[in-house]
Amino acid sequence: MNNGRKTIGGTKKLGTGWIVTIVIAALVLVFGGSYIHYSNSLNSAKQDYEQQQGDLQSALQRRADLIPNLVNSVKGSMSQEKKVFSQIAKARENYSSAAKSGNTKEQANASQQLSGTTSNLINVINERYPKLASNNNVRRLMDQLEGSENRINLARRRYNQAIKTYNNRVVRFPSSAVASMKGLKTQQYFQADEGAQKVPDVDLGE
């Protein structure tokens, strides 16, 4: 009884069934290993952009928390600047709504608008209220806001780079096949529409 194996010159020769089994096992190992590799790569890219997203959200929230402090510190001395404070209030309201919606594009647009109105306020303080601008508390808050803008710009660049890496792995073969199996889709960049930062200028010559 030779169990389907022939003996030639004293050497056992594997039957067709064994060859097929070995080939299938090899293919499973190759494709299984590839799936694990690309799955891990996608997971790492996803975790990276989620981490960068958290850093960006923290920077955005820090600015949002600082703005009321500056407004409250200067509003009493700038009671005639209703237009400026109205812009700030509207921009903060839009940003709050966008942040709650979770829509990246809306949040990017609202963030740009808030940047514009905040910049307007700081320009008005510096140009029209030099004594107020020299106040230690006001100056500290303005410096903190400017620092927040720098942090946001850096965090946005890092987030968008992480999104680029992730999106490339989602759309490029062969990792795209694994992404499709896992139900992963491309994500939006944190990028505002053109002109989103534009706000009505305050005529400092008035």
The enclosing domain of 122 has a CATH number of 1.20.1440.20
DSSP tag of 8 = E
Residue 172 lies in a domain: yes
Query: What does the block give as tokens for 164?
Result: 């680029």
9, 15, 97, 199 from 3: Cα distances, Å: 17, 9, 73, 85
Residue 89 lies in a domain: yes
Residue 164 lies in a domain: yes
Model pLDDT, residue 8: 46
Domain region containing 95: 20-182
Query: What does the block give as tokens for 165?
Result: 């890496």
Residue 108 lies in a domain: yes
Query: Is it the case that residue 19 has pLDDT exceeding 60?
Result: yes
What pLDDT digit, counting tens, does each position of 95-128 carry? Answer: 999 999 889 999 999 999 999 999 999 999 999 9
Asked if residues 176 and 45 have their Cβ atoms less than 8 Å apart, the reply is no
The residue type at 79: S
Residue 129 lies in a domain: yes
Asked if residues 66 and 184 have their Cβ atoms less than 8 Å apart, the reply is no
Asked if residues 196 and 109 have their Cβ atoms less than 8 Å apart, the reply is yes
Query: What does the block give as tokens for 85?
Result: 């404070």
Residue 87 lies in a domain: yes
**Count: domains in the chain:** 1
Centre a 10 Å sphere on the Cβ of residue 175 and count the other Cβ atoms it contains.
20
Query: Is it the case that residue 6 has pLDDT exceeding 60?
Result: no
